[in-house]
Amino acid sequence: MTASVARTGQPATGQLSGVLSGTGHDQLRLVVLTDQIPHAAPAELESIARPVYDSDGHLCDWRLDVAHAEHPLSAEDFQRFTGWRRGFAVERYLGERALITAFLDWAAGHCSVSKLQVLRLDHARIDYHRALEMGRQLEQVRDYLGRHTASGLGLFSPTARKSIRGFIAAAEPTTVLALGTVAVLLTPDGLSLRQPGGPVPLLGWHCDDSNLAARTAEGELPLTGDAARLLRIVGRQATDIEVRDCPIGDLIAPLLSFGKDATDVAGTAHNGMYLYSS
């Protein structure tokens, strides 16, 4: 299964569409098994731990079963589970699916990412040899970005030290998120809002529980309805957003750092990896 980039167009009324709809906002992660997986959870975790099986029916991991836990999970529950799971598995988060897909599209014209294409999938079993090749390609990407200037767009909030969401533009306009006749679009010129009154280039926005105003080159523009709803979703409900250029290397730092770390652990453990999304 290969993820595709949604282009501009009219979405069905009342239905969200665009690269952040569906599974586009899912977080990708790699899990490396470093020891034999226990076939049963400890007694104190039996009611909250759920076994995970691969497509062949083999036990491949354990997860917290938040939905079916007999009681609300406490901080101690999380600590006990993560401490137990750390004994046989290492997990590394890579970033948002839409951003990683856009990065793979961009990188194909600049450096070799053939072994990284597996990251377009919802889930996958990655064998040991491919894991090592992925690590080498991540090193090559890091080297390329260190020698070339390449920027995307980041959404920044005063309460966050790093961008809270990143985008890498394609040559053609991309629908980030759309509802009815309103859409947030990404182009090489930046982020904009398409609405019946005409396009609005976005420098940012700020909001409270009741109101939202977009920042534009001409000043602030109050927005309501679908336009305000889309911007709240795109901005992860942050109350103050600034849109600005950001080096691609910074946007995909978790992939470059944590992804490479996962491949190094796979090499040390002489084991493969599992790709998950949620």
Q: Are residues 75 and 165 in the same domain?
A: no
For residue 2, being part of any structural domain is answered with: no
Q: What is the pLDDT of residue 237?
A: 95
Quote the mean pLDDT of the chain.
91
For residue 16, being part of any structural domain is answered with: no
Q: What is the pLDDT of residue 14?
A: 66
Q: In which domain, by residue range, is 198 found?
A: 151-248
pLDDT at 7 over 80: no
Helix, strand or coil, per DSSP, at residue 82: helix
Residue (of 145, 143, 138) closest to 114 by Cα position: 138
Q: What is the pLDDT of residue 68?
A: 66
Name the phi and psi angles at 85, rounded to 5.
-65, -30
Q: Are residues 34 and 120 in the same domain?
A: yes
Q: Are residues 56 and 106 in the same domain?
A: yes
Minimum mean pLDDT range among 7-21, 78-92, 153-167, 230-244: 7-21
Q: Which two tokens stand for residue 128?
A: 């040991």
pLDDT in tens, 95-114: 999 999 999 999 998 999 99
Q: Are residues 40 and 145 in the same domain?
A: yes
Q: How far apart are alpha carbons 190 and 197 in whole angstroms?
A: 19
Q: Are residues 243 and 255 in the same domain?
A: no
Q: Which two tokens stand for residue 136?
A: 């080498």
3-state secondary structure labels for all residues of 151-219: EEEEEECCCCCCCCEEECCCCCCEEEEEECCEEEEEECCEEEEECCCCCEECCEEEECCCCEEEEECCE
Q: Are residues 211 and 259 in the same domain?
A: no
For residue 14, being part of any structural domain is answered with: no
Any idea what DSSP says for residue 72? P
Q: Are residues 53 and 102 in the same domain?
A: yes
The residue among 218 and 162 whose pLDDT is bigger is 218
Q: Are residues 255 and 132 in the same domain?
A: yes
Number of domains in the chain: 2
For residue 47, being part of any structural domain is answered with: yes
Confidence of residue 3 (pLDDT cuts 50, 70, 90): very low
Q: Are residues 174 and 138 in the same domain?
A: no
Q: Are residues 81 and 178 in the same domain?
A: no
pLDDT at 222 over 60: yes
Q: Are residues 181 and 221 in the same domain?
A: yes
Name residues whose C-beta falls within 8 Å of residue 149's C-beta, 6 or more positions apart in sequence: 247
For residue 229, being part of any structural domain is answered with: yes
pLDDT at 5 over 70: no
pLDDT in tens, 43-99: 999 889 999 998 888 899 999 887 766 778 889 999 999 999 999 999 999 999 999
Any idea what DSSP says for residue 208? -
Q: What is the pLDDT of residue 171?
A: 93
pLDDT in tens, 137-160: 999 999 999 999 999 999 999 877
For residue 17, being part of any structural domain is answered with: no
For residue 84, being part of any structural domain is answered with: yes
To which H or E segment does residue 39 belong? Answer: none
CA Rg value for the chain: 21
For residue 235, being part of any structural domain is answered with: yes
Q: What are the CA-CA distances from residue 78 to residues 42, 115, 125 (Å)?
A: 14, 34, 26
Q: What is the pLDDT of residue 55?
A: 83
Q: Which two tokens stand for residue 20?
A: 């952040």
Q: How far apart are alpha carbons 205 and 214 in whole angstroms?
A: 4
Q: Are residues 46 and 121 in the same domain?
A: yes
